[in-house]
Copies of this chain bind each other. A is one copy, B any other.
């Protein structure tokens, strides 16, 4: 592998000159520039990133930690982080935390070992105090969810309000016995969605019935299983709000398997507006999160922290959108 000293030798200059010409477009006299650049081209020189990073103490790389790779919303966000990062000359390392023994360890290792300049955590699942400790020492931004009254920079929608909105829509069009299927994970975002659901019920004068709230895996399998459990319970219900589109899809499949028509006999709503939402039968009524914006803003926040422009920041709330399709039944 050719190194900078090879280039320097061929161009008849010192390594310092090569380095400067390569990193500062207005440096050196034209003749020298030409020589050096010609040598670079001839030898096909590529700077060794490790050496550079070791010396400059920055990697121009950020790590994105995601609970899994199979969530459509997550990779929309990841993709937009990558776009924005590239625009600033940064690389993105994607870490799939699924199946990782200790997410916390994962978080820290990369940055402590100086392999990345900052962390973006999508839907972080670590304990609050731990995240705060990390944020105290390193640039960290949370996306999709964050803790309340916590000064770790974050970007998200108001999950509670969104969930309330979609539930209120069901009430408005005449549903009363509304169930909720959610994930049993203890992510705050699910608690917030549950809480929005409850608020909508209370505001609509409908008592919250704990027997209509089901928790399980946050996947299609999970939705399928929980809906079967709900059906098996014998409880009556005419609508279900699900805390995610994948859950909703599993739930609808379970209803259909018993010959229950959606939305005529039971309305179902999702959350996230994943790719399949409009193509499913029936198309899902859901909440759309502004994935692109979330990723973009998350990177920009992180970037300004890396550049030491600011350390803390208030959470950014972005607008969500209630997307009404057929799975919730008739509008008024």
Contact = CB atoms under 8 A, between A and B. Distances in A.
Interface of A: 1, 46-51, 53-54, 59, 69-70, 72, 75-76, 78-79, 82-83, 93-94, 96, 98-99, 109, 112-115, 219-220, 224, 246, 249-250, 252-253, 256, 275-276, 278-281
Contacts of A76: 70
A96 B85 CA distance: 13
B115 A50 contact: yes
Contact of A98 (B47, B59, B79): B79
B112 A220 contact: no
B113 A46 contact: yes
Contacts of A79: 69, 96, 98-99
Given A69-B79, A276-B276, A279-B249, A50 B114 contact: yes
Nearest to A112: B46
B279 A115 contact: no
Contact of A113 (B48, B69, B219, B281): B48
Contact of A281 (B75, B78, B246, B256): B256
Given A78-B96, A79-B99, A96-B78, A279 B49 contact: no
Given A96-B79, A279-B220, A50 B54 contact: yes
A275 B51 contact: no
A219 to B, nearest CB: 7
Nearest to A220: B279
A258 to B, nearest CB: 13
A115 B249 contact: no
B48 A114 contact: yes
Contact of A47 (B1, B70, B113): B113
10 cross-chain pairs, A with B, having the tightest CB-CB distances, nearest first: A69-B75, A49-B113, A94-B94, A253-B279, A46-B112, A50-B54, A281-B281, A220-B279, A49-B115, A50-B53
Nearest to A53: B50
A249 B278 CA distance: 11
B70 A99 contact: no
17 contacts: A46-B113, A48-B54, A50-B50, A50-B53, A50-B54, A50-B113, A70-B75, A70-B76, A75-B96, A78-B96, A79-B99, A93-B93, A94-B94, A94-B96, A219-B275, A220-B275, A253-B279
